[in-house]
Amino acid sequence: MIIRSLKVTNFRNYDKFNITLGSKMNIFIGNNASGKTNILEAIAILGLTKSFRNGLDADVIKFDRKKAVIEGRVLNNKQIKDLKIEFLEKDKNIFVNNKKVKKYASYISNLNIIIFTPNDLDIIKGSPSIRRNLLNMALSQISYSYLVTYNEYNKILKTRNEYLKILFTNGIADKAYLDVLTDKLVEKAVLIYRERFKYLSLINSYISDIYNNITEDKRLLKIEYSPNISISSYEEEELRKVLINTYKKNYRRELSAGMTLFGPHRDDFSFIMDNNIDMKIYASEGQQKCAVLAYKLASIPIFKENNGTNPVLLLDDIFSELDLTKRNKLLKYVSRDIQSIITTTDLKNISKKTLDSAVIFKVNEGKVERS
């Protein structure tokens, strides 16, 4: 998967720019606050339809403008597609080859991206919701059926939570309807559990080698999946039984809480080193950064195996996060058969060989120019 060109209009600090990207490494150099991250954000939006930053969709529109537009020409499995996303004050329009897309879920596969930012330490240190979002972002790009199932699960979950509140305040409400909702929720939950378990198992088959390659260390790194129910097997029937029994046993508890307390919406996972070291507690920030980076790089072969093509790799200010040795190891890794888009404040300590093979852009005061 390759982004051939990127055009933005009235986006963040940019009036307009239109650039042609290289098929391998692209480096955007500029001072802090010059707008480099905004470029990665535009690409991420083009792939995922939403920003990796917090805030409203309308926040991406440049001050005093009415509309922001992101356009990209993408080569995906030998097919050229023109993608466009328009942001209005209270609306968003998505187009593929000038045809408006009605369902966002059908759009996601057009541009697969993996992004690393300085804030990614929160993946280890932060709340479980951050890690769940990370899982959902990857699986939604790999599997259309997962994305549809996950969206359906959330709709059923919302309805079930609302009905639990009704049952709590109105004793004459029909509990049989809650049972129907529970059965539907279980059906979707089983699929989500199985896909997440499978994905993290695949991550574990790559993550240690990548981590050790970048750090020149010899550690065993793995991801430990932690659903909030006791699961001994990820076979469909076993999962269904466990979930049904969990909801039956905890009916009164959920009724009092007015919400569904068990299910994949409460999942978590941990970064574990050498079988028993929880990296959230015992690892240094340097180790945590490299572990998150290894996790994201481990997803590249999984994307390729499932989608038939590599994703686009976005690395925001990655050089400031790593020492020279790790930086060079990473550059060697991403110089392979994958398009990477990297931001940095300077080109120091990057080898001439790497720079000669990269396309370099200068970012300054809302302007982007090829060097």
Beta bridge partners of 363: 368
Q: What distance in Å separates the CA atoms of residue 75 and residue 135, rounded to the nearest whole number?
A: 25
- Strand locations in 112-193, DSSP E? 113-116
C-alpha span between 106 and 264 (Å, rounded): 23
Instruction: State the first-to-last Cα distance of the chain, in angstroms, to the nearest integer.
Output: 24
Matching residue, tokens 């059908």: 106
The phi, psi pair for 242, rounded to 5°, reads -60, -45
35 annotated as belonging to a binding site for a ligand: yes
Sheet holding 221-226, edge to edge: 221-226, 268-273, 277-278
Asked whether residue 106 is marked as a ligand-binding residue, the answer is no
User: 182 a known binding residue?
Assistant: no
Is 31 labeled as ligand-binding? yes
Please tell me whether 117 is known to bind a ligand: no
- Residue 33 in marked binding region: yes
Measured between alpha carbons, how far is 73 from 71 in angstroms, rounded to an integer?
Answer: 7
71 bridge partner residues: 7, 84
Residue 61, both tokens = 């529109």
Fill in the DSSP letter of residue 245: H
Q: Is 34 annotated as a binding residue?
A: yes
List, as residue ranges, the binding site for ATP.
30-37
Binding residues: 30-37
